[in-house]
Amino acid sequence: MTETAILGGGCFWCVEAVLVSINGVLSVQSGYAGGKTENPTYKEVCSSLTGHAEVVEIIFDPAVISYAQLLRIFFTLHDPTTLNRQGNDRGTQYRSVIFWTSEEQRETAEAVRQEIEQSGLWNAPLVTQIEPLTTFWAAEAEHDDYFRRNPDNGYCQVVVAPKVVKMRQIFAGFQKRSDQS
């Protein structure tokens, strides 16, 4: 039995690159959610006119990793205190958002957000939105597994790679065996 999580924490290349190596995560697909345009393109989403966020669809095995633990990793891998921004990436498409697919996911998301808020992990209030998923639109194929396929890309070297290294250190116990160093 699998479960699906839809998370937006800035650029989907970063989020995918971290979560794909987590034990129990079966697949990660970049895409868009939360907007009004049907089947949007990357260019349209980057205009901030469609209302979509860059997100990832995570298919995972809840017997191996819980939804709550995935959310704890999510809240650590991006800055959930900056509205519509992650580092130099700015726009509503980079907002911090959790799209829930069941009432249980909504309750868990709210509880984990409160847990993180109270933990002192971040020095400012969390701005992460928790919204029902209406539609997930898969991104263009060129965004799939972007970090692995483009390690020499400047953005990947400067932004994605350090985040992946940091997260592998913080969540070493959650790494798939082939990803452990």
Catalytic residues: 11
Contacts of 154 (CB under 8 A, 6+ apart): none
CA distances from 76 to 42, 87, 148, 176 (A): 25, 14, 21, 18
d(CA 66, CA 121): 20
Residue pair 43/173 in contact by the 8 Å Cβ criterion: no
d(CA 73, CA 80): 12
Q: Do the strands 96-100 and 3-9 form a parallel or antiparallel pair, or are they unpaired?
A: antiparallel
Other beta carbons less than 10 A from residue 132's beta carbon: 12
The two three-digit tokens of residue 5, written as one number: 């999580």
